[in-house]
Amino acid sequence: MPPLTRRTPSYGTGTYLLGKSPLDADFDEHGNAVGVKFVARPGDVFAWPAGVTHFVTDTQDDYEIIGFYALTGFNTVEEPYDMEYAFDSEEETAKKREMCERVPGPEFDPVYGKEGSMPKLWKRTG
């Protein structure tokens, strides 16, 4: 398993919105809400592929989260993730999308190790 970096301790609750940035419209051209919302509570474990837009829309009880990032050659302990805000040109954004697609899926389940199901469930979509 690749080494992991650790972020902050977890407590409180936070509401996440996946597939939408704070700059995106709340609704698409058909009136459908943009993004998938979920509430993260202490003890929850969740993961998403590189390049998935997400942000915390609401927090309670001084919410903080532990972040683990596999060190796979795409990042370092000093810079465990590449924060992007998509302010680049369409061409540069396309290059970054291709970079995200090259990030490998997990070799091990981050909770259950080799016996876990995440590597089997994690699949490329698109």
- Structure-model confidence comparison of residues 100 and 68, the more confident one: 100
pLDDT at 4 over 50: no
Quick one: residue 37, left, alpha or beta (phi over 0 = left, psi -120 to 50 = alpha)? beta
What pLDDT score does 31 carry?
A: 96
Structure tokens at 33: 């809400």
- Please state whether the predicted TM-score (pTM) of the whole model is above 0.75: no
Q: What pLDDT band is residue 100 in, cutting at 50, 70 and 90? A: confident
Q: How far apart are CA 92 and CA 17, in angstroms?
A: 24
Q: What pLDDT band is residue 73 in, cutting at 50, 70 and 90? A: low
Q: What pLDDT band is residue 7 in, cutting at 50, 70 and 90? A: very low
What pLDDT score does 119 carry?
A: 82
Query: What DSSP element (H or E) covers 100?
Result: helix 90-102
The mean-pLDDT minimum among 4-8, 83-87, 96-100 falls in 4-8
14 burial via Cβ count (<10 Å: 0-12, 13-18, 19+): buried
DSSP 8-state secondary structure symbol assigned to residue 90: H
